[in-house]
Amino acid sequence: MIAASVLVTVPAAHAAETADAAAEADSQCPWVGSDAPVEQRIDQLLSRMRLDEKLDLVHGSAMPFQFVGPTYAGMISENPRLCIPQLGLSDGPAGVGNGHTGVTQLPSPMALAASWDAELASRYGATIAREARGKGADVVLGPTIDLLRDPRAGRSFETLGEDPHLTGELAAAQVGGIQGEGALAQSKHIAAYNQETLRNLPANDSIVDERTLQEVYLSPVRDVVDAGTASVMCGYNRLNGVHACNNTYLLSQVLKGQFGFDGFVTSDWFATQASHAAANAGMDLQMPGGCHYGPRLRHGINSGAVTTARLDDMVSRILRPMFRFGLFERDGNGSPDDAVTGPEHAAVAREVAEKGMTLLKNGDGMLPLGGETGSIAVIGEAAGERVIGSGGGSPHVIAPEIVTPFEGIAERAREAGAEVSFDDGSQAGEAAGAADVAVVVARQWSTESKDNKDIRLSEKDNEMIAKAAAANENTVVVLNTAGPVEMPWLDEVAGVVAAWYPGQEYGDALASVLYGDADPGGRLPATFPVSQADLPAASPDRFPGGAYDEGLAVGYRWYDREDIEPLFPFGHGLSYTTFEYSGLEVRGDGGPDTTVTARVTNTGSRAGSEVAQLYVTHPESAGEPPKRLEGFQRVELEPGESARVRFALDERSLAHWDADADRWVRGEGDYTLSVGGSSRDLPLTGDVAVAETAPVSEPTPAPPPGAPEGDDPAWTKIGNVARCPAESLYAGMIGAISLFGLPPGEQATRPPRSPADDG
């Protein structure tokens, strides 16, 4: 009976204590549920915070030797006294990661980029945000704003392509989608982080001139800042000798000064390599642990190496988006154990896969498949158990299950009355020769933590394709790859489809494209070279050496400048119909009110999609590459239908970075504006004359007082290592792992399989 009374009275007492605590919190936390301006609420809260509480807010809560977490990729602990909720940070840019299940495996960002569809990018971001919030997280670690400088980069599939304008537009749309659902977007990375080899170590040093940095690698950063991104993540690389996470030029002068960013800068995981210098350079939040911004930052505050004003600014920057997006008033709904996927999200995954699939070759109009196709051989392990829906590392997402290419094609072919067989590639020639059409699926794995040595498919896959093509002239190759690859067999096959890493709806989307239920909607977000030797960073001193002396000539700009014929140019992609461009009109004097319009007409017999692209050629005196993408618009047209596409120029469209003046300048002279279907197919051209040279931006601000030029002083660095040995060890391991990589994660909770070849 005594035990029973205790069981009854303890909960009652606890309930009373909880009610008292809640009432006290309401009276002590006037910033919760307040209609006061955000800045006033920040000041109210900041005035009540103790030093310990401020320090607790500027770092993650992972314990020593915890690589992520706890719970999510990272987390800031709640503060019940001040009613500050916990802040959970969840991977990532392609869906909810961190090993969670019950989520949607979306196509890779590269596949999204191939859609050239900003509205779809917004829905992609919204889908990720809904699932992240459903898991109880608050911050989405995405979008990725790194450029594809070299397709050998391990994270190539995580990028939105090689062009800063395309990347910036799609990333900004993704930010809008994420934050429209009440989650915070954390755009990554600032800046010039383009390889994995020896990352986070001194040898990984991006040597980039100021003009290239501003025009190419920082351009998408400005776009996401203009879109209101709540946070920006600094990368693992050094930039011109200074680590990105304690780089004053990047974080304070450009991001917070030139771009006016008022959110918070977060370190990549274990990328904090300084304590006082990182804080003074502009990094606001350490992840995932808290030694550098815990005891080491406390030491800096007490010694005067870091001012209390700077700490208050760090805290304010984290609180600002938390207030703006209502995190203080949000119920703690959602759990990491909840299943958050569903048919609506799967439909988004399929739409991205379909619109991103890029038809590179269609010899004699062999595709789409029709009723005359009586039998199909689906060939390759990548069509079954070795399918890749998601690349590795922080963008990796585990699907409930993946529709494999074989499963999708088999289901659609049966509807059309065709027989379907499967071969794992061991009998590729025999299997292909026995069918009307052979669909050969090849793969190339790519992951964060390790760069690829080349852009060739495996010898086994190249041989499989060659044998199939020799046995059947109607051979279509499907590339399940991170990005561009060499194609030594291209002349021997009838068709090539770049499927990228297309997510969980892969097979159904592929079948829909092959049969023409959906027009192949993709256009290349990256140039496919004839050979690796043609790459802009082919020289070892560039990749992985770190010398960015190709300058502004990234991607298609390199092939144009060097007069190199690519295998498939940037922006290229075939449709099952044809399009004609006409009626170019240019209105304006080259300033922000200038518009370019043109008419696009579907001249074929099928409905289809086209991506109209605007490129600008600067006067020779500007020293720019031969042309730059400055606008795009995707249109869906019925047979015979026309649409007028419109491109509005902004202040950067005809400008270049003047490194002497540290600002954007629009130069005097004649500019050529070209419109068409790819960077090498521009049938329409017009001109605009700029009467005089004029600055179009303010100069980059000077460094703030006390900002560091580099790392912590020697004695502070010794203290960092002595006080934070676990974090120092993990920082080094990030680079060491890049030499051998990490094992691939599972693709789906229900593993994909290869069927028996039973017809």
Instruction: Tell me the catalytic residues.
Output: 268
At CA 63, angle to CA 62 and CA 64, rounded to 5?
A: 125
Token pair for 17: 């204590």
The total of other beta-carbon atoms located within 10 Å of residue 288's CB is 26
> Could you tell me if 246 and 708 are in contact, meaning their C-beta atoms sit under 8 angstroms apart?
yes
Question: Rounded distance, CA 341 to CA 347, Å?
Answer: 11
Phi, psi of 240 (to 5 degrees): 50, 45
| DSSP letters spanning 672-723 | EEEEESBTTB--EEEEEEE-S-EE-SPPPPPPPTT--SSS--HHHHHHHHHH
Angstrom distance (rounded) from CA 193 to CA 221: 12
CA 56 to chain centroid: 29
Please answer whether residues 420 and 435 qualify as being in contact, where contact means their C-beta atoms are separated by less than 8 angstroms. Answer: no
State the amino acid at position 714 in one-letter form: A
What Rg, from alpha-carbon coordinates, does the chain have? 27
Which residues, listed in sequence order, are joined to residue 597 by a DSSP beta bridge?
585, 646
User: Any idea which residue has 């498939």 for tokens?
Assistant: 568
Cβ-based neighbours of 380, under 8 Å, separated by 6 or more: 423, 424, 425, 428, 440, 441, 442, 443, 461, 464
For residue 9, count other CB atoms closer than 10 A to its CB. Answer: 10
Give the integer Cα–Cα distance in Å for 31 and 37.
Answer: 10
The helix (run of H) or strand (run of E) holding residue 735 is helix 725-737
Alpha helices by DSSP H, 97-162:
109-115, 118-134
The CA distance from 6 to 254, in Å, is 62
| CA-based nearest residue to 310, from 269, 281, 286, 289 | 281
What single-letter amino acid sits at 697? S
Instruction: Give the separation between CA 425 and CA 412, rounded to whole angstroms.
Output: 22
Q: How many CB atoms lie within 10 A of CB 470?
A: 15
**Of the candidates 567, 521, 538, 541, the residue with the CA atom closest to the CA atom of residue 454:** 538
Q: Kindly give the residue spans of alpha helices, DSSP state H, lying in 36-117.
A: 38-48, 51-57, 109-115
Closest CA to 493 of 521, 518, 471, 515: 471
Q: State the Cα–Cα distance between residues 658 and 668, nearest whole angstrom.
A: 13
- Work out the angle at residue 595's Cα, subtended by the Cα atoms of residues 590 and 597, and round it to the nearest 5 degrees: 135
Other C-beta atoms closer than 10 Å to the C-beta of 733 total: 13
Residue recorded with tokens 């991006």? 206
